[in-house]
Amino acid sequence: MQIDWWTLAIQTINFIVVVWLLTRFLYRPVKDVIAKRQAIAEEALSGARKKTEEAEEARRNYEEERSNLAAAQREREAELHTEMEKERQAAIGEAKKQADHLLADAKERIEREREEALDALREEITSLAADLAAKALAGAGMAGAGEAMLERVARHLSALPEKDLTELKEDAARAGASVVVTSAAPIPDDEQSRWRSRLREWIGQGARIEFEVKPEIIGGVELHFAHGVLSFSIAEALRAAAERVRG
């Protein structure tokens, strides 16, 4: 087997030329295109990663904001609940206060009305009792002013303080003044003489003593001086008893 070196050389040169041509006009442009596409792909991938990160960040921010909003909502609801509870308690307190006030007013009014009713009933009973007592005493013949009443008056005068007795004497001694013995029924003349004699022992011998009749005093006597009255009448005793009952 013989080798054709010229042919081998020419083929080798052709191969080298083809390789050079392929490298120059095919491999490098393809490599550049691949590099550019790879760069574009990496840039797109980097952009996608960035978008993904931004989306994730936005999602976290959204979740955080939603959580904060929920917490703020719960806090606001708690505040509203507290305020509503305070208002409810205030309303209950005010209603209770008004109810207590109304109850106190009602109790006071009921008590006042009860007292007024009792006073009216007491007044009616007292007046009735006084009327009955007056009628009973008058019907029992106690309208007169006998010896026993004269002794009672004398005891009262003798027990008076010196100052009071002096004032009575001065009243009786005034010019034109007189001491009026008032009784429910006329005092007989002989008894009038005894009354004058006994009274002058205490209020002065020159005292002018007169007598008058007033059935409304029921019984006993009243001594009317210029500036005062000494009452020993049944009407006055009943009036005093009625006042004690009313009090």
pTM (two decimals)? 0.45
Q: What pLDDT, on a 0 to 100 scale, did the predictor assign at position 132?
A: 45
DSSP run (H or E) holding 212: strand 209-213
For the domain spanning 142-246, the CATH number is 3.30.360
Give, for all 247 residues of the chain, the pLDDT tens digit: 566 777 877 888 887 877 777 777 766 776 777 778 777 877 777 777 787 788 788 788 877 887 787 777 888 877 877 887 888 788 788 777 887 777 777 778 777 777 776 566 555 555 544 454 544 444 433 445 678 889 999 899 889 899 988 888 888 888 678 899 999 989 999 999 999 999 998 888 888 999 999 998 888 899 998 888 889 988 888 787 777 766 6
Encoded amino acid at 234, one letter: I
Q: Among residues 182, 186, 236, 176, which one has the least CA distance to residue 207?
A: 176
Where along the chain do its domains lie?
1-140, 142-246
Task: In whole angstroms, give the CA distance from residue 12 to residue 6.
Answer: 10
Coil, strand, or helix at residue 183?
strand
Q: What pLDDT, on a 0 to 100 scale, did the predictor assign at position 172?
A: 84
Coil, strand, or helix at residue 222?
strand
Q: What pLDDT, on a 0 to 100 scale, did the predictor assign at position 222?
A: 93
